[in-house]
Structure 1
C-alpha cells in the first residue's frame, strides 16, 4: 500500500489549472482543494463551493453587541441611576443610538476576526497549513486525495495533459516550517 496522501499538480498558468480542473472533473476524479497565489474569479463555482455563511455570523455578532449595550444603558440610565437632565424622559431612545451603533460595529469586528481565525485555523501559535510553498509565490496547485479509487498513474497523466509543470506525490498532509 502506498503512503501517498495527496497528489499535487503544480501549474504555472491559471488557465492551465482551470483546464486541469475541468479534465479531472470530466474523469470523475475528486479534487481535495486548490491553492493559488492570487484570487481567481469563478473558481468557487467551478469547484462547487457553497457560498460563505460569514454574513450570518456577522449579523449575529452585531445583534449581540447592539442588544448588550442597549441593555446596559437601559439598566444604568433607567433603573439603577435615573437622571433628570433638562426635564427629558430617562428612557430617551435617540440618546442611546450612537453608543448602540458603535458597540454593534465593535462586536461585529471582533467577532468576525475570531470567527475567521477559528474557521481557517490561523490563530496565533498554529503552524500554517501549506501543501507546497510555491503556492504562496508563483504556482497554482491542485491537490487530489490519493485514497480515491482512481489509479495514481491515471491522475498523473491527466494532470500532465492539462499542462502541469510538475506532479508531486505528498506523503504528509501539510508541509511544516520546521
Structure 2
C-alpha cells in the first residue's frame, strides 16, 4: 500500500533544527531528514535512540587484542622461539613489553575494519547501491524533512511553512 508523504525543503541547517523541534512539539512523526552534511544535535532533536556502535567497537577491539595475544604467543613462544635482545623465549609474560605495539596495532586494526563492515551492513550501504535520497538537491545544498500524511495535509503544510520551509512537495512513497 502506498502512502503519501510531504517533503519540506530547507536551505539552512539552523532553520531545519528549529523546524524539527517545532514539528516534534506539534506531535508529528518525522520519517526521515536528508542532509548534505551531518547536523550536530539533529538526532536528539528527532528523538532517535543512541547508537550502540561504540559497544561493537569495544568488542571488536577485544577480539583484535585476543587475536594479537594468541598469534604472538604461538609465533614467538611456541612455534619459533627466538632470542631477541637477550629476552627469554619461553615465557609470554616476560616478553610482553616488546609485544605491546603489536597488540595495540591489531586492536585498532580489528576495531576499525570490523566497524566499517558493521556500519555498511547496518546502514545497508552496499557497493553499487542506488541512492535512496528523494531529491538530488539533498546532496548539495538543501535539507529535506519527510513526514507521512494521515488526512492532515492542510495543517501540516501550514505548520511547515511557518517553520521556514522554502518548498513543500507531496509525493507517493
Number of the residue aligned with 2:64: 65
TM-score (structure 1 length as normaliser): 0.82
- Provide TM-score, normalisation by structure 2: 0.84
Distance 2:70 2:134 in 1: 48
CA distance in 2, matches of 1:87, 1:38: 52
Q: Is the 8 A contact 1:4 1:169 kept in 2?
A: no
Equivalent residue number for residue 116 of structure 2: 113
Three-state SS of the structure 1 residue aligned to 2:59 is helix
Q: What RMSD, in angstroms, separates the aligned Cα atoms of the two structures?
A: 2.2
Which runs of structure 1 show a deviation greater than 3 angstroms over 4 or more consecutive aligned residues?
81-87
* 8 Å Cα contact 2:81/2:89 also seen in 1: no
Q: Distance in 2 between matches of 1:103 and 1:15?
A: 41
Q: 2: CA distance between counterparts of 1:16 and 1:77? A: 60
Count of residue pairs the alignment pairs up: 169
Do the aligned partners of 1:20 and 1:158 also contact (CA within 8 Å) in 2?
Answer: no
Q: Structure 1 residues 100 and 16, CA, compared in 2 at 3 Å: closer, same or farther?
A: closer
TM-aligned CA deviation for residue 72 of structure 1: 1.6
Pairs within 5 Å for 1:143-158: 143-146=146-149, 149=150, 151-158=152-159
**Ranges in structure 1 where 5+ consecutive residues have no aligned partner:** 173-178
Distance 1:127 1:108, change over 3 A: same
User: Which residue of structure 1 lines up, in the alignment, with residue 53 of structure 2?
Assistant: 54
